[in-house]
Amino acid sequence: MTSGKTPQLLGVAGATLVAASLVAEAAHAADGRLLVFVHAAVKQRALQTGLQAALGGVEVTAVGRIADFERCLKEGTDAVLAIPPVILACRLNPALRGVRAGSTEEKYSIVGVGTTPDPATIASVGALDVLGRDGTNAFVRDLLGASPRVERVSKVEDLLPLLQMQRVDAVLLPLRLLSEIKSTSKLALTERQLGKAVALPAIASVSASGGRVVAAVSKMPPDIARILGVDSWR
Q: What is the CATH number of the domain that holds 125?
A: 3.40.190.10
User: Is residue 31 located within the same domain as residue 72?
Assistant: yes
Average pLDDT over residues 38-67: 94
What pLDDT does 181 receive? 87
Which H or E run includes 219?
Answer: none
User: Is residue 195 located within the same domain as residue 206?
Assistant: no
* Cα atoms found within 13 Å of the Cα of residue 126, Cβ hemisphere only: 21
Cβ contact 189:111 at 8 Å = yes
Q: What is the DSSP letter of 186?
A: -
User: Is residue 210 located within the same domain as residue 188?
Assistant: no
* Terminal alpha carbon distance of the chain: 41
User: Is residue 13 located within the same domain as residue 89?
Assistant: yes
pLDDT confidence band for 8 (50 / 70 / 90): very low
User: Is residue 93 located within the same domain as residue 205?
Assistant: yes
User: Is residue 186 located within the same domain as residue 213?
Assistant: no
Cβ contact 167:126 at 8 Å = yes
CATH code at position 89: 3.40.190
What digits encode the pLDDT tens for the residues 176-200?
Answer: 899 888 888 889 999 999 999 999 9
User: Is residue 141 located within the same domain as residue 67?
Assistant: no
- Long-range contacts of 155-160, Cβ-Cβ distance < 8 Å, separation of 24 or more: 155/39, 155/64, 155/128, 156/9, 156/39, 156/40, 156/41, 156/128, 156/180, 156/181, 157/5, 157/6, 157/9, 157/184, 159/126, 159/128, 160/2, 160/5, 160/184, 160/185, 160/187
User: Is residue 52 located within the same domain as residue 110?
Assistant: no
Residue % of the chain over a pLDDT of 90: 80
What digits encode the pLDDT tens for the residues 12-47?
Answer: 454 555 444 444 343 334 489 999 999 998 999 999
Average pLDDT over residues 206-211: 96
User: Is residue 36 located within the same domain as residue 53?
Assistant: yes
Kindly report the pTM of this predicted structure: 0.85
Range of the domain at 32: 5-97+200-233
For residue 232, give every residue at least 6 positions away whose Cβ sits within 8 Å of its Cβ, in sequence order, or none: 98, 99, 222, 225
More confident: 3 or 131: 131
User: Is residue 11 located within the same domain as residue 93?
Assistant: yes
- Long-range contacts of 61-66, Cβ-Cβ distance < 8 Å, separation of 24 or more: 61/33, 61/34, 61/35, 61/36, 62/36, 62/37, 62/38, 63/35, 63/36, 63/37, 64/37, 64/39, 64/154, 64/155, 65/129, 65/154, 66/37, 66/129, 66/130, 66/131, 66/132, 66/154
What digits encode the pLDDT tens for the residues 70-117?
Answer: 999 999 999 999 999 999 999 999 999 999 999 999 999 999 999 999
What pLDDT does 22 receive? 41
pLDDT of 155 > 80? The answer is yes
Average pLDDT over residues 50-63: 94
Average of per-residue pLDDT values in the chain: 89
Reduced to 3 states (helix: H, G, I; strand: E, B; else coil), residue 81 is strand
User: Is residue 118 located within the same domain as residue 167?
Assistant: yes
Say how many domains are in the chain: 2
Reduced to 3 states (helix: H, G, I; strand: E, B; else coil), residue 18 is helix
User: Is residue 86 located within the same domain as residue 131?
Assistant: no
